[in-house]
Chain A
Amino acid sequence: MNDAAADGAAGAGVDGVIKASAHRLLQRWGAAGDAGPAAARRGHDGDAGFDANAWAELQQAGFALAMLDEEHGGVGVINAFVIARLAGQHAVSLPLAESMAANRLLSAAGIELPGGPVSLAQVPARLERVPGGWRLLGTAARVPWGRCSGLVLAATDGARRYLAHLPVGQLSFKHGTNLAGEPRDDALIDHAVGAAQVAPMPVGLGEDPVLAIGAALRTAQIAGAAQAALALTVGYARERKQFGRAIGSFQAVQQLLAVMATQAAAARVAADLAAHAAVDGLDACRIGIAKARASEAAGAIAATAHQVHGAIGFTRDYALHPLTHRLWSWRDEFGADAQWAVAIGRRLAGAGGERLWQELAAL
């Protein structure tokens, strides 16, 4: 891709080869890629919720382990975030980002990786000591691909924080979907967990690493979908003719697209910030800033994409809805912009107006 040189200039080791092969594979399976908009309808029909062949190929290529460092079989955090962005760009309907994140946390905690898809719970659960091990209690709401994945969650016994893993098949999920038709499942948790599936939360990852890592990856996915929506919309504006000329030749449309592009750029920069924050101990301040900005951009981008496309953008067979429905869904997952903004605002207010610049310049 033509920004390979620019990625290289970032100096953070984005590997062009990894990026190219990820692009090829994800394009094959993505609902905005070769799999087509039909791939976006899985999950509506109460089925397994994902394409097992697609998952097998990505797992074979090592993508579920991508966020581990190289000595553990991954390609490092920065490259993994590029993969997440590409997965967003192609609207891949698989628990890929979730598995990358979950495996990263499991590895850091010293819990054996289960193999197969693994997802994340956005809210911590309670752990109780019982004879022979632990009992895990709580509610897992809107778990991405919960029905067909293992589950990684944060948990606390009231004194310490832990990372816990529930293997696939243990929980009884009530099926649901997000706006993009991706499985988002609910379960009550009241389960015995073996000692090997619980470990102290790794230090240096902040207060809520599961939320932070999920938010960071969603930021990357939003950036990818934003880029694809922009490209699709600009392409459409150049092709579609009305009044004897391309609709993109009208200033009113050009102005809309210019604003859309700037929002997509902001989302992209937010994704870069999130990736670097993920390297730097899952810094929740930066991740929150990034997720907030990308979530806000997502809405603006989806709206303009539909406005420029007109009626065709509203049809099931056209490639726009896999992107815009994901933008609308992902902006609310792992913390909507409003939630992160409140947290950031409270922190800055506590620091005071005189410190505002110091605080912001440090991020």
Chain B
Amino acid sequence: MDPLSFPLLPSSTAEEDLRTQVRAFLREQLRERAPIERAQSWSGVDTAFSRRLGARGWIGMTWPKRYGGAERSALERYVVLEELLAAGAPVAAHWIADRQSGPALLRFGSEQQRARILPRIARGECYFCIGMSEPDVGSDLAAVRTRAVRHGSGYRINGTKLWTTNGHLAHYMILLARTGSESTERHAGLSQFVVDLATPGVSVRPIRIPSGEHHFNEVSFTDVDVPPESLLGTEGGGWQQVISELALERSGPERFLSSFTLFAELVRVCGARPSERTALAIGRLASHLVILRRMSRSVAGALQAGLDPSVQAVMVKDAGAVFEQEIPEIARSLSATDDAAASDAGYAAVLAYTTLHAPSFSLRGGTREILRGIIARGLGLR
């Protein structure tokens, strides 16, 4: 695809009807949810909420019905995702399973893996984490050192994974490990595994961020024996699988709505007749959000249509992170000279929260500099 091409069909009645239903559900479910909790966006964990969402058929929405899905369109799924995020719903428990691991199982998993796991994900009962980063492995993912050697009929895993979001809550990890020798090309010899985290030898240690919150973990594997059916896809095919997994999940609404609660709080505290300076900032942010959303929805539709919008997806993520990080800076600058904002405790709490978390927006799921290198490759520069 031409990197500047973002075709978009107008939204359908089915999508708009669904939106009405989701909004009604969220109004009821999140009645008591304070702005500071909504500000957590897709980091908020609530397993009961995940199960209620699953009961409505809104997890694994696009999956085949025989796996617990609803066979709905990518753009219908998009409606649910963006409404959840805009409302600050606590989706973290099932988010990775729904967005990344489930699709990986659908794409590369065995029939047994799919039949056993996908319906439980779709019910909001089964949670996943991602085993990619390690102490010495961040952007350079091909340098993975965790080893999975053949042991009996299965594999024995040794190594350490780091920055594992919700590793302490997840039932399974999709782990990237080296199965081949390190000799030949870097990208060969990597494999993915669906690891049951209850397996003996797995140990999870929390990593706290400065606020004291616990999202990240270090997950160590000491002689963890996994059965052969835990291999995901093909042995040695791990790199290709991981690349496709990362590419497809780079462009959703979570890539530009992480600071949305702060944006909405800013509009609230500035009142119905803001200064011209404030109005300008709000309008400018709105123009960015509307265009980003359009780009993001286009990628979702293009994927469904079988096109290859990989450069577009990366553009959405990169521009989205810039936008998300600007919001706390702009909000701070405006509210510094606005008395109403200065005295609003709710707003202040959301501003503080978002400021502290903002650096992660351009790090997680692919750092800014790496993403821009991918775009440059898409332009034919490397």
Using a CB–CB distance below 8 Å, which chain A residues touch chain B? 1-3, 6-7, 9-11, 227, 230, 234, 237-238, 248-249, 251, 253-255, 257-259, 261-262, 264-266, 268-270, 272-273, 276, 286, 288-290, 292-293, 296, 337-338, 340-346, 348-350, 352-354, 356-357, 360-361, 363
Contacts and interface: CB of A to CB of B under 8 A. Distances in A.
Given A344-B282, A353-B266, A249 B381 contact: yes
Interface in B116-150: none
Interface string B259-302: 01001111111111110101111111011111111110010011
Contacts of A262: 315, 318-319, 375
Contact of B295 (A259, A265, A296): A265
A292 B228 CA distance: 56
B209 interface: no
A237 B379 CA distance: 11
Contacts of A254: 372-373, 376, 381-382
Given A288-B283, A352-B267, A360-B290, 9 more contacts: A3-B4, A9-B302, A261-B375, A265-B3, A269-B298, A293-B290, A341-B281, A341-B287, A353-B265
Contacts of B274: 345-346, 349
**Interface secondary structure of B, over-half rule:** helix
B222 to A, nearest CB: 39
Contacts of B245: none
Contacts of A290: 287, 291
A293 B291 contact: yes
Contacts of A356: 263-264, 267
A142 B167 CA distance: 62
Interface stretch (B5-13, B100-108, B213-221): B5-13
Interface of B: 1-10, 19, 82, 86-87, 260, 263-274, 276, 278-284, 286-295, 298, 301-302, 305, 307, 312, 315, 318-319, 369, 371-373, 375-376, 378-382
Max chain B C-beta neighbours (<10 A), residue from A234, A340, A361: A361
A16 to B, nearest CB: 14
B268 A353 contact: yes
B4 A264 contact: yes
Contact of B312 (A251, A265, A286, A342): A265
Given A261-B375, A262-B375, A345-B281, A289 B290 contact: yes
Nearest to A254: B376
Nearest to B288: A293
A71 to B, nearest CB: 23
Contacts of B369: 255
B283 A342 contact: yes
Nearest to B377: A254
Q: Shortest 7 CB-CB distances between A and B: which pairs?
A: A353-B268, A345-B283, A341-B283, A345-B279, A344-B283, A345-B282, A254-B376
Contacts of B302: 6, 9
A270 B291 contact: yes
Contacts of A234: 379-381
Contacts of B280: 338, 341-342, 345
Contacts of B378: 261
Contact of A349 (B278, B319, B382): B278
A266 B307 contact: no
Contacts of B82: 361
B6 to A, nearest CB: 5
Contacts of B273: 346, 349-350
Contacts of A348: 267, 282-283, 286
Contacts of B375: 257-258, 261-262
B379 A7 contact: no
B267 A3 contact: no
Contacts of A342: 276, 279-280, 283
Given A254-B376, A345-B283, A289 B291 contact: yes
Nearest to A346: B279
B226 to A, nearest CB: 39
Nearest to B375: A258
A255 B318 CA distance: 11
A3 B6 CA distance: 9
Contacts of B292: 266
A276 B86 CA distance: 25
A257 B3 CA distance: 13
B8 A258 contact: no
12 contacts: A9-B305, A11-B10, A257-B376, A265-B6, A266-B291, A268-B5, A273-B294, A292-B287, A337-B287, A345-B280, A345-B283, A346-B274
A179 to B, nearest CB: 23
A61 B4 CA distance: 28
A361 B279 CA distance: 19
Given A341-B284, A354-B264, A360 B372 contact: no
A122 to B, nearest CB: 19
B16 to A, nearest CB: 10
Nearest to A1: B2
B260 A357 contact: yes
A361 B253 CA distance: 12
Contact of A296 (B266, B284, B286, B315): B284
Contacts of B376: 254-255, 257-258
Nearest to A237: B381
A357 B312 contact: no
A11 B305 CA distance: 12
A356 B284 CA distance: 14
Contact of A340 (B266, B282, B283, B380): B283
A134 to B, nearest CB: 36
A238 B86 contact: no
Contacts of A253: 381
Contact of A10 (B3, B7, B264, B288): B7
B312 A349 contact: no
A133 B279 CA distance: 42
Contacts of A265: 3-4, 6, 295, 312, 315
B373 A251 contact: yes
Contact of A266 (B270, B276, B295): B295
Contact of B283 (A292, A354, A363): A292
B315 A357 contact: no
Nearest to B273: A349
Contacts of A7: 5, 7
Nearest to A247: B381
B42 to A, nearest CB: 15
